[in-house]
Structure formats: structure tokens, C-alpha cells
With several copies, the nearest count.
Chain A
Amino acid sequence: MVNLGFSIGDLQFKNPVLTASGTFGYGQEFDDFLDVSRLGGIVVKGTTLEPREGNLYPRMAETPSGMLNAVGLQNKGVDYFENSIYTRIKSYNTNIIVNINGSYIDDYVNLASRINKLDKIPAIELNISCPNVKKGGMAFGTNPRSAREVIKAVRAASTKKLIVKLSPNVTNIVDFARIAEEEGADSISLINTLLGMSVNVQKMKPALSTITGGLSGPAIKPIALRMVWQVANAVKIPVIGMGGIMTASDALEFILAGASAVQIGTASFIDPQASIKILEGIEKFLNQKGFSDIREIVGFINHKS
């Protein structure tokens, strides 16, 4: 038996495979395909204080080994989450993490306080990296000063474990990771989508209603992996890596580079069972290589030999 568990402070995860916000609904959407309780955790859909309709259609474009989305945080708001979703999903035997979003710091703080009252939510993921909203979102995640302010404010408002999700659309990702650590984040997750664009050549117009959108999928894996490696080498808190993970081998790249855990995003659209298959593949790899604890390979490529 291999030990797959990891922890963020005193919060235990049974294994390092989580699902990424905005790509796994509230978990229920996948009930027919897998037992979500087998996952290390679920990060639910990006949530805001008020309901949001998101951006206009078309919101999606396929790109080489990836996709662009411009969903724009469509969600029914925190009231609906509390009353209709939470009551149904709180029985899942896994860590349910809420991804929080806002246009102003107050929004984030109010939202964090609301979530703070929900017993079965052990952690929040602070999303300062959504590229698909006009206000807030990535603006917080690409400016060191506002990043620090919003992290500080949310930290003060929440006793849950705080995971800060970074934007890759910056010159130096390590600066932002350090700020998060300094302001008391318990963990860092990265990367959110890269700002991209696609043009429909036949129609001679942008493919997305918003012109630009967020790029995800295997195309971004090399960039995500580089950033995770940089951040893992710069901070002491656990790092959760994501970006284009489709297979166990992809996940292992992140773990070998220094991630304590991974999130599976776009892969769940291609194969709704991707997360579980990846989990099984990681376990198999550890067995094959004769490791008994996943922690032995976290950051393995950085170990002096």
C-alpha cells in the first residue's frame, strides 16, 4: 500500500488529485461517471456574492491541444449555493473547496465570511486570476499591490484554510506566490488560464463574444509546469499544480517538479473519469518505482543527488 495523502496545515487530503474550479460543476454532474468521494477534493464552480449570468455566447473555441473559454463566472450566487447546492453535496466524503470571486475587495470579504459559516467546507480557493470578467478577477492577480490587499483582507475574514489561486499572466509568478505566503495563505494553486484569443477566419471575426478568453488544456502544460516549479522552489507552503493535466504522467510531471497535489481541469470535459484514472495511474507509478509514500517524489527533480 502506497501512502497518497497530503495535507495543508492540519487539513488532510486522502490523495493528491483534486478537480479544478469551473470544470467539475459541483461534483454532482459527474455522479454517473465516478464516485466523487474517491477524489482528494473537489473545488467547486467559481462563486460570487450575487448571481451572475456570465458572458454572451459564443464562450468557447477549440485550439490546438486546448480550448479557450469566456464563461465569465456564471453562477447562481452564494445564497443559492448555500441553500440548494451545499445541502446536497456536503455529504460527499471528500474535501469540498469553494472558489471565491469578486469585483471589489469587499465582495471577496463578504463571500469569505459567508463561506466561513459552512461547516463542511474546510477551505476556500481565492481566485484572483479569472481573465474573463471586466472588473476584479485577473486585475487583482496581476498587480502585486492589489493582490496583497485582497489576500490580506480575505485572510482576516476567514478561518478556513486559504488557498490562493494565481494568474499565469504575469512577468514573475514568484512575486505573487511570495506575497500570498507572506499574507498567511496556507497553500498556493496555479495556474489559472492564460489569456488567449482565436479568430474565425471564414467569418472574419473573433471566435469568442468577448474576443479574448482563457486558454486551458495540454497546450499550456509546459508553461504551467515551469511556473509550478518556480513557485514550489520559492515558498514553503504546499503548492497545488494544474494546467493541461490529462494523464497520470502529466500529473507526475507536476509532482516531480514540486507540486504536493494537482487539480484536473479541462481533462474532465474530454473524459469525465479522467481524475480517477489519473489517481490510479499515480498509484501504479509509485508501486512500479518502489516508493511507499508520494511525498518521496514531491519535488524529486530538485533533489541534489
Chain B
Amino acid sequence: MSKRIEDLKVIGNKRLNDDFFIIELTGEQKLPDFKPGQFAQVRVDGSPDTFLRRPISIHEVDLGRNTFKLLIQIAGKGTETLSGLKNGDMLNLVYPLGNSFSLPAENEKVLIVGGGCGVAPLLFLGKYLKSNGHTPDILLGFRNMERIIEYEQYLKIGKVFLTTEDGSMGEKGYVTDHSVLTNSTYERVYCCGPDSMMRAVAVWCKKNNINCEVSLENLMACGIGACLCCIVDTVKGNLCTCIDGPVFNTTELKW
């Protein structure tokens, strides 16, 4: 699937809470066949402090309407500027970039684990799995009740387990503390979230001999394998998160 650079039109900007918003985009051309786990390099115009593009995952795709969504967390100047986008504004993207999550085998027991803005690529993955006949369980972790996002969306995909750090909803603690993991029979885990969370999940998977894929969020300049800035140390040496990833099987990583 070939990469492109394109101006896309903003047709929605929905604020979820203080930190998160969802941008919906459409283009004049037919959108490419996105795969779950892929991302776009988003140009932040009109901000003197953002020189480089910002990598953002594909969050939801509606090829029928020729639209797709980005779920973005305000993390600094660039995402702050993006949060001000209005309908009709144009956004320049280089996309679709990166590899994607691999499909489970038939009847494999699948768990999706997400935390914070890690949920961004996972909704697309979940829907994709669902439409391919899988019914994954989903384990989501948030800081507190107010920060929970997209809960209802996940309910349509499979069984959802929740943790919050303060216990205000679901079980109290981190995702790796959740009781569903204690006697699990999962055979495959997909995970995206803060580094520390992904590492903890990877450790747990390793201990339980479970196939685990994580989506990394390394700092990127180009997003297309040209700058070698986004590397991750793997058993095959340094690989680029942007083209060899962002999805890696944790057996490849030196975690």
C-alpha cells in the first residue's frame, strides 16, 4: 500500500474531556486500505513551536463514508494546536505509515490491553478483529473515572475489563493488577499505552508464555525510515519504529 502526502479536510472535532479529542477527516481521493496499528504523520501548521510532524495512530475508519478518525491527547504545543481545528480546516498528512498488528489464528483467545492514549490504535484493531470473526476481551486502564474514554465503543467489540488508579471505576490499580489476568487462558495479547505499562504487560505475557504485540511511541522525525531517529533496540539490532514498527512482538524487543 503506497504512502502519500495529502491535504485532508476536517469534518469533526469532538472534545472527549480535558485531555482528549477526536478529529474526523475526509479526502477528495479514495482513502487507502488502512490496517490496524498504522499511523499518520500530521503537520501542525500555524504553530511556531512545532517544526516536525506529529505521529498519530489511525483510530477508526469508515471507508464507506471515506472518513477516518484520530484520537489525540493534548501532550504539548502541537497537539494543543490540533485541538483547535475547526470543520473545514485542512490538515496535511503523510500516511498511512508503519506495519500493523498481526491477525490471531482462528479461535485464539485474544486480549487487548490499553491505557491512556494507548487506546488510540486499539479501537480500530478491535473492530477489525470483530469483523474478522474474533471476539477479543478488552482490558483498559485509566487514571480515574473522569478519564475513561470510548468505553461504550469497546463494549460493542467484546467483554471489557476496567482498572482505575484510584478505584473510582472498575478494579483499583494498574491493568496488570486486574483479576482477569490471574487465571487467564489468553493466547495472544495486543497492547498499547505508556511505556511502563507495556513493559509490565510484556513481562506478564512472557511469564505466561503468551504471544504479545505492543505498539511503540518512539520520538520520530520523518516517519518513513529516512532519519533513523526512532530506533528501538531489538534482537535483530536497531530497528525503526516507523517502518519496522510501530507494532513489535515483544520477543523481538530487548525488554
Contacts and interface: CB of A to CB of B under 8 A. Distances in A.
Find out whether A and B make contact in their complex, taking CB atoms under 8 A apart as touching: yes
Interface in A60-81: 60-67, 69, 71, 74
Interface in B210-241: 218-233, 237-238
B94 interface: yes
B5 interface: yes
Contacts of B5: 33, 271-273
A157 B175 CA distance: 61
B52 A270 contact: yes
B3 interface: yes
Main secondary structure of the interface of A (DSSP, over half): loop
A59 B229 contact: yes
Contact of A30 (B48, B51, B218, B224): B224
B50 interface: yes
Contact of A65 (B2, B51, B223): B51
A269 B227 contact: yes
Interface in A226-267: 266
Interface string B37-52: 0000001000011111
B53 interface: yes
A301 to B, nearest CB: 19
Given A57-B231, A59-B231, A272-B94, A66 B51 contact: yes
Nearest to B1: A32
Contacts of B220: 60
Contact of A269 (B219, B221, B233): B221
14 contacts: A23-B222, A24-B226, A29-B224, A29-B226, A56-B233, A59-B228, A59-B229, A60-B219, A60-B230, A63-B51, A64-B49, A66-B51, A67-B51, A270-B43
Interface of A: 22-25, 29-30, 32-33, 53-54, 56-67, 69, 71, 74, 217-218, 266, 268-273
